[in-house]
Amino acid sequence: MLERSGFRYLFFLYLADILVTVCSLALATWLRYELPWGLGLTPQGQLTPQVYVTVMFIWTAMFYRFSTYNTKYLLSGFDAIERAIASVLASWLILAGTLFMTNRGVSRLLLVYFLVLNLAGVTVARVLMRLFIRTLQSRGVSAIRVLIIGAGKVGQELAERLTSRKQLGLELVGYLDDSPAKVGNVIDGYPILGSLDQAAEVVRKQGVDEVVIALPLHAYKRMEQVVASIQKTSANIKVVPDLFAMTLAAAIPEELDGIPLVGIKGPVIPDHIRLLKRVMDIVISSAGLVVLSPL
């Protein structure tokens, strides 16, 4: 359910990580020259532009290797920071080994400065990014609008957990239900907007991003009809799996605060994310050529 939010977060977080890393290396170099500690530097110990490109390549590869940008960890503060720290440590060890094998004049103290600054930088970047995103989401900016199909016990429990976790960036629009007695009523501040036959209309009118189906198993036929109608919209569809026949070949398991969900229709990758992926492919390929050349 967090893919859309994750895509946006990923784009800015990756840029922030690379910027922080490059700035940390530049600041470490400046500190090494300005602080009166360590032996004098030789010309062979100076860092060339190739080293900066190598750093970007290694850090990108290790962030990917440690699943630092997996949407499952993005909104979990401790996990996100833990993975970022592990990625930086692994990247730093690779960089140090590479430099010592190819350039024995490199300053070890400079590398220590770089490690400390980089660890602090990626940690602070994540804390600030989370605070910024939470502020936007608390004001309804960039929130993911969710519609729950079914206002029964499961649907209401899902709504309660969804609304209690503001940091997820999810905004509940309301419910749909086939019970005439429920339509038009309000449950804990969230309206029942209509019947299941109005699903596609409500999705378009309310600008819904995610639809979660929480219907009982005996309503399987209605579930099929709802899914068919919503498929024509741009909204993603999720189903509480214990209410759905688990025979879908393309089912994608997820969870929301302990409630299991199954994705039927995944998100379409936004154009800017496709562009970012393409740019990263080009950068990594180009950096690989630079790394293979002598430093």
pLDDT at position 249 is 43
Q: Which helix (H) or strand (E) holds 230?
A: helix 220-230
CA distance 256 to 240: 10
Taken in order of first residue, the domains within the chain and their CATH numbers are 3-138 (no CATH), 144-268 (3.40.50.720)
DSSP β-ladder status, 259-265 and 190-191: unpaired
CA distance 46 to 58: 19
Considering the entire predicted model, what is its pTM? Answer: 0.57
The answer to whether 295 touches 51, Cβ cutoff 8 Å, is: yes
Task: Kindly state the DSSP code that residue 39 receives in the 8-state scheme.
Answer: P
pLDDT at position 203 is 92
pLDDT at position 182 is 86
pLDDT at position 275 is 59
Which DSSP string do the residues of 103-124 spell out, in sequence order? Answer: -TTS-HHHHHHHHHHHHHHHHH
pLDDT at position 294 is 47
The answer to whether 253 touches 262, Cβ cutoff 8 Å, is: yes
Ordered mean pLDDT values, 10 residues apiece, the chain (295 residues): 59 89 92 72 68 92 84 67 90 88 76 94 87 70 82 86 71 89 87 90 90 82 87 84 47 61 59 60 58 47
40 class by beta-carbon count within 10 Å (0-12 exposed, 13-18 middle, 19+ buried) = exposed
Q: What is the largest CA-CA distance in the chain?
A: 82
pLDDT at position 165 is 65
pLDDT at position 202 is 92
Listed as own residue / partner, the contacts of 248-254 with beta carbons closer than 8 Å and 24 or more positions apart are: 254/1
The answer to whether 146 touches 171, Cβ cutoff 8 Å, is: yes
